[in-house]
Structure formats: C-alpha cells, structure tokens
Structure 1
Amino acid sequence: MANKRKQYNAQFKAKVALAAIRGEKTVAELASQYEVHPTMINNWKRQLLEGASNVFESSSSAVSAQSDQQAQIDELYRQIGQLKVERDFLANRLVGK
C-alpha cells in the first residue's frame, strides 16, 4: 500500500514560513520541530515572500472581483429560473396529452 502524502493547511504553512523568515532558528531546526522537510519550508517561505505584495493591493480590485462574481451568480440564478419555467411547461404539455 502506498504512503499517502500529508496535507498541511494554509495556517500551518504560514506559521512555519514566518518562523523561517524571522530567522530565530535555522531551517533544519524548524524542520525538526515541525516534522517537515527543509525543502518544503524553503518553498513556503518563498511563496510567502512572493505573495506578500497581494496583501497591500488596493481594495478596488477586490471589490471589482466581488462585483463580477455577484453578476455571474445573478446570471446563473436567471438561467435556473428560465430552465424551471421550461421544465414546468414541458411537464404540463406531457401530462396534457
């Protein structure tokens, strides 16, 4: 039976990556403490540093994305309503024959 990979949640990854960035312990010490391979810690640290600029992006882009998402949801609800009407119409026609 193959070993299953361990999945780490985002909070754990952030905690370990921040500890690595602080530099209070070496990556090897952190790997031993958290029982994670040092390469994973370095990858998480790199991802955190690359994604840190997203924290400071303007909220207008977030609002724009949210409004686009809401427009898509509204369109989907409209399509659902239309499909329900068509289904009911066809069901009535079928029963009527």
Structure 2
Amino acid sequence: MKKRKKYTSRFKTKVVLEALQERETIQELGRKYGLHPNQISTWKSQFLSSASSVFEKGTKKEDVEKEKEALFKKVGQLQMEVDFLKKVLGK
C-alpha cells in the first residue's frame, strides 16, 4: 500500500504563488515539483477561496481564546453544582 505524501503549508503556498504568477504553466510547475497538475489547481482554488479571510477583522486566535474562556467558566460552574449536589445528597 502506498502512503500519501504530506506537504507543508509553506510548500503549498510557494507552489500556489508561483501558479498565480503565471510565469510557468500548471503542467510545468507539476513537473518542477513532482506534483499532478490537478493537485496544484486544487490548492490554487482553495487558496483563492480563503484569501479574503486574511483581511477580516478579529483573528481566529482571539475567537479561540474567547471560546476557551467561556468553556472554563462553564466547567467551573458545573463543578460548583456537582460539589453542591454531593453535599446535599450526603456523599
């Protein structure tokens, strides 16, 4: 069984940026990097579809921190409820 190759995001970005420059065809880039042209086209379309998110306000890191904070608050609240119920039930 053949294992799939995993490419770093840095490598993918490099290939996509070269494809966007259009100095070489997709087929030439495929030969240059040992990739199938369809793979380069797929990466290019993924890159272009998510490019607008780079300029959106608020980073994902901030969103993750807010969600993490909310979850810690919820865990604390639930722990207090469990402790209370243990006291009430006498366990």
TM-score with structure 2 setting the length: 0.73
What is the CA distance between 1:7 and its match in structure 2? 1.1
Q: Which residue of 1 aligns with 2:25?
A: 26
Amino acid in structure 2 at the alignment position of 1:6: K
Report percent identity of matched pairs.
37
Cα distance in 2 for partners of 1:25, 1:73 equals 51
TM-score with structure 1 setting the length: 0.69
Whether 1:47 aligns to 2:36 is no
Deviates more, 1:66-75 or 1:41-50: 66-75
Structure 2 unaligned blocks of 5 or more: 84-91
Name which structure has the greater RCO, CA cutoff 8 Å, separation 6+.
1
Q: Which residue of 2 aligns with 1:16?
A: 15
Deviates more, 1:20-29 or 1:52-61: 52-61
Cα distance in 2 for partners of 1:20, 1:67 equals 37
* Runs of 4+ that moved beyond 2 A: 60-66, 73-76
Structure 1 unaligned blocks of 5 or more: 87-97
Whether 1:5 aligns to 2:4 is yes
* TM-align CA RMSD: 2.8
Cα distance in 2 for partners of 1:69, 1:54 equals 22
Q: 1:20 to 1:60 in 2, by over 3 A?
A: closer
CA displacement, residues 47-81 of structure 1 (integer Å, 9 cap, x when unaligned): 000000010010167534421123224544x48xx
* Number of residue-to-residue matches in the alignment: 84
